Chain A
Amino acid sequence: MPTLAKTGNEAMAEAMRQINPDVVAAYPITPATEIVMIFSQFVADGLVDTEYVAVESEHSAMSACVGAAAAGCRVMTGTSSQGLQLMSEILPIASALRLPIVMCDVNRALSGPINIHCDHSDTMAVRDFGWLQIFSENAQEAYDNVLQMMRISENKEIQLPGMVTTDGFIISHCMERVETIDDAAAKQYVGAYQPLKSVLDLDNPITLGSLDLQDYYFEHKMPIVEAMQKAKNVILEVGRDFGQKFGREYGLVETYKLDDAEIAMVALGSTCGTARVIIDELRAQGVKVGLLKIRVFRPFPAEAIVAALKNVQAAAIMDRSDMYSDQGGQVFCEIRSALYDADKKPLLANYVYGLGGREICLEDIRRICADTQANAAAGKVKQLIQHYGVRE
């Protein structure tokens, strides 16, 4: 297994090369441009068999993806922020038509004001469209997750589109050590695509997306609900198989020093890397602190989260986006809801942080852990929701 120095974008493009999709349709947008640019070079150099469609907007990109996937092709794309929002009209169509399109999505703040740096508001805004969502902590995971997502999406029981995310610039543009898999092994792991349907299959003509009113629309939404339920097991299987074959196992969530922890931090994406450093530091001082990393956000791993937090006294839930609902961030809301029926649950405090790329440093994590310790000691939460790091 070659070890290379790659940025998150390069790592994702490399996974795309190995997957060798039939069609990629994309439109450039910072900080995701590089993924599809590198890939388009692979196409130009004949390293893949892909038809690359350079469209004139993300709306067209996702539309072309849906068209190609409906024709039975393996389809991928990449985007970020405003581009993802512009795809919004088509995203729920991709899931409703059960088209396993895989997207490399680089998390970036939404306009306005215009900003190109990382937060999770773009990805969170499309969380309810029936797409699988996996967050990556670093470039290695970005690479591994793209390969796995293709298999999860294309699984016969699932047949849902999926997005693998990285954090804009923090992962997309930072060069890291990435262990890649040999082409043949990657190809074998992902497997050949056998579409369950194709509008081009003249022997079995089908209609996709036709008018569906009060009579059947509701029934036709249920398969998404069921596929999302089943996806949890499939994600676990695919992650386990990845571990057996390549030594890096993945689950729905990941815990770090959480087994005997009294306090915990819950986070997504690159912040988990920062949190690990402080957890090690505090552990050395005897503080029983651990990390719960949410890897999969859709489907939402409620059961795994409840189980992981059951012995924790207080937890800090980190949200890199706000819902503007006066109820904190999306992660907080969903975790609070998941814990409602739990017999044993921690005190929760929400930290909305890092909007528009505001740095989250070691010192910040240290402070939030100290807050959490204080909450645990007091037996109550001092402040339920905080917009952490905002200047007065």
Chain B
Amino acid sequence: MSKDIKEYLRLDKFPHIWCPGCGHGIILQAVLRAIDRLQLDRDNIAVVSGIGCSSRAAGYVDFNTLHTTHGRALTFATGIKLAKPELTVIVLTGDGDCSAIGGNHLIHAARRNIDLNVIVFNNSIYGMTGGQYSPTTPTTDYAATAPYGNIDNAFDLCELTRAAGASYVARSTTFHAAQIPLLVEKGIKNKGFSFIDIITACPIYYGRMNKMPDAVDMLKTQRDNARNIKQWDIMTAEEKQGKFVIGELYNKPAPEYTDAYRQLREKTHAL
């Protein structure tokens, strides 16, 4: 039986810090819907976040929560998972948090295929500190640190984590809000490193600096540029220009780290 998702929120922590039009709330409610569908015991859920507007989400949800330092959510989460493999560990993080300052941890957590569920609130910018470009800011886009356009190449975080060893990789957008819980649900069910990249809007910084100050316009852009995986697979390279793929991008069970660790312990203790 489905609960009102408000039951999962620490409403005494409201109002939240997110600006009007910010997409972070859409992601949070979608994640809560997934948890609700799975009917998980909330005492067995640990939510870990780093630092950023997105990472504030951990403070608003009524589970075991750990708000850590910028970039390190995955390392804290790895510790939790190794100590208590029976917990469902969910990492709520930003694109800056997990791929700039914490990029190293992202590839290594994926490489180990440790059973963590990472949901990236990917707004292509450092929202919290005022709109500096992040590793997912598209080339030529504007940011506070790129007033004449960004010259860096952007990471495709799904490609990155898949190549690094994640066993479940998916992407969606805040426009496709109804799709997010399905992806999160499958990610949580996957025993291994699940990486879910959600494209979201920061109208205040990214939007304003890229001539899209209206949050609804940003949602429309997500709608216009996202292509479902089935469609994507038959598109030409030319058609893919400026577009991105959404849906379940990779799902292939692989040996999980805490399992392998337990087996090793059993083997060595038996000696």
Q: Interface residues, chain A, CB within 8 Å of chain B?
A: 27-30, 33-34, 37, 40-41, 44, 52, 54, 56-57, 82, 86, 111-114
Contact check, A37 vs B144: say whether CB atoms are below 8 A apart. yes
Q: Mark B223-258, 1 if CB is under 8 A from A, else 0.
A: 000000000000000000000000000000000000
A184 to chain B minimum Cβ distance, whole angstroms, is: 27
Expressed in whole angstroms, the Cα–Cα distance for A28 and B134 within the complex equals: 11
**Please, how many angstroms separate the alpha-carbon atoms of A113 and B58 in the complex?**
14
Binding site for A on B (CB under 8 A): 51, 67-71, 100-101, 103, 126, 128-130, 132-133, 135, 144-148
B144–A82 CB distance below 8 A: no
A37 in contact with B135 (CB, 8 Å): no
State the 3 A-B residue pairs at the shortest beta-carbon distance, nearest first.
Answer: A28-B129, A56-B100, A57-B101
The answer for the CA separation of A57 and B134 in the assembled complex, in Å, is: 11
- Given contacts A56-B101, A111-B69, A114-B67, whether A28 and B51 have CB atoms under 8 Å apart is no
Report chain B residues within 8 Å CB of A34.
130
Question: Inside 8 A of B67's CB, which chain A residues have their CB?
Answer: 112-114
Choose from A52, A54, A114 the contact partner of B133 (Cβ within 8 Å): A54
Q: Is the CB of B147 within 8 A of A44?
A: yes
Which of these, B68, B71, B132, B146, contacts A28 with CB under 8 Å?
A: B132
**A37-B144, A57-B100 are contacts. A82–B69 as well, Cβ < 8 Å?**
yes
Chain A residues lying within 8 Å of B51, measured Cβ to Cβ, are: 82, 114
How far is it, in angstroms, between the C-alpha of A113 and the C-alpha of B133 when the chains are bound? 27
List 17 other contacts, CB 8 Å, given A54-B133, A56-B103, A82-B70. Answer: A28-B126, A29-B70, A30-B128, A30-B129, A34-B130, A37-B145, A40-B145, A40-B147, A41-B147, A44-B147, A44-B148, A54-B132, A56-B100, A56-B101, A56-B135, A112-B67, A114-B67
Contact B130 A33 (CB under 8 A): yes
Q: Across the two chains, which residue of chain A brings its CB closest to B128? A: A30
CB of B137 to closest CB in A, whole Å? 11
16 residue pairs from A and B, CB less than 8 Å apart: A27-B101, A28-B126, A30-B129, A37-B130, A37-B132, A40-B144, A44-B148, A54-B145, A54-B146, A56-B101, A57-B71, A57-B100, A82-B69, A86-B101, A112-B67, A112-B69
Expressed in whole angstroms, the minimum distance between the Cβ of B151 and any Cβ of chain A is: 10
A140 to B101, CA, bound (A): 33
Give the chain B neighbours of A44 by CB distance below 8 A. Answer: 147-148
Q: Which of A33, A52, A86, A113 contacts B129 (CB 8 A)?
A: A33
What's the minimum C-beta distance from A52 to chain B, rounded to whole angstroms? 8
- Bound: A56/B132 CA distance, A: 11
Interface centre among A29, A57, A86, A112 (most CB of B within 10 A): A57
Q: Whole-angstrom distance between the alpha carbons of A37 and B209 in the complex? A: 15
Smallest CB gap from B56: residue in A: A114
Tell me which residues across on chain B come within 8 A of A29, comparing CB atoms. Answer: 70, 129
B245 to chain A, nearest CB (A): 25
A44–B209 CA distance with the chains assembled, in angstroms: 15
Q: Complex formed: what's the CA distance from A56 to B145 in Å?
A: 12
How many whole Å from B75's CB to the nearest CB in chain A? 13
Contacts of B70 in A (CB 8 A): 29, 82
Residues in A with CB closer than 8 Å to B147 are 40-41, 44
Question: B108 to nearest A CB, angstroms?
Answer: 16
* A126–B103 alpha-carbon span in the complex (Å): 26
Residue on B with the closest CB to A52? B145
